[in-house]
Amino acid sequence: MKTVHIIPVDKRCDVVLESVKECGKPIQKAYLVFCDDKSCIKDVKNALKNFIEVEEVRVEREVYSALMEILKVIKREVGEGNSVYLNLSDAPRELCIAGVMSAQIANAGVYMAVSNDVIELKVPPIKTIGEDKANLIRVIEENGGEVESINRLIELTEGKIEDHRKYMAQRARMSYHLKGLEEDGLIEMKREGKNVRIRLTPLGRAFAIMLL
């Protein structure tokens, strides 16, 4: 099992290297996350590559786009049985937000340099999503991130239901879970004629990464 650090890099190479040294966590692999070539990523990579495995991950300077890329890395490493920490010491604002959200969704550790110290951040847990709601997120994502109606979603999850009473019970149950997902900001629903189109939000698609 490896201990992996995901490290957004911007302009402060010395802060990044010092925080890795002083964090008190083992490190066998680092993902250096950056937005543009003006960052000091080359200096950080050259300082680390002789001691640990290093990979670069380029992301857009946009919170949800960066969030999904970071979660993909976490999902891959956790799937291999590795522990993951995020080092936000040099993270620009957008990547700092994406890093905290990633830690909440994936239950990863977070640390950062503050003044002359390196502290571990205690990230508030996100509300647990029940298996029924998680399954709806999975199904919608596997269908391209949206479905054209509740009826279609029932068909994708349960198959065709011929019994009218069972169908109405399933529809009521489905509507209840969809309302909860909408309130949590994971889906959006838009009426189109007689149907309601259901679409995952960017946050919903980020959750889907860890659920698939």
Domain 3-121 and domain 131-211, same fold? Reply is: no
If you search the block for the tokens 């003006």, which residue do you land on?
38
What percentage of the chain carries pLDDT values higher than 90? 82
* Contact yes or no for 36/8 (Cβ under 8 A): no
Residue 209 CA to residue 70 CA, distance in Å, equals 10
Under 8 Å between Cβ of 110 and 123 = yes
Q: What is the pairing mode between strands 53-58 and 29-34?
A: parallel
Q: Where are the domains of the chain?
A: 3-121, 131-211
Amino acid identity at 151: N
Q: Which two tokens stand for residue 19?
A: 């925080």
Which residue positions in the chain have pLDDT lower than 70? none
State pLDDT tens for residues 77-109. 999 999 999 999 999 999 999 999 999 999 999
At the second CATH level, the architecture of 131-211 is Orthogonal Bundle (1.10)
Distance set, CA 115 to CA 16, 19, 24, 136, 180 (Å):
13, 11, 17, 44, 41
H-helix or E-strand containing 153? helix 150-158
Q: Which two tokens stand for residue 66?
A: 């960066």
Which one is the CATH code of 3-121: 3.40.640.10, 3.40.50.10770, 3.50.50.60, 3.40.50.2300? 3.40.50.10770
The model's pLDDT over 154-168, given as tens digits with 9 standing for 90+, comes to: 999 988 888 888 888
Only one residue has tokens 């799937």, namely 79
Global pTM reads 0.89
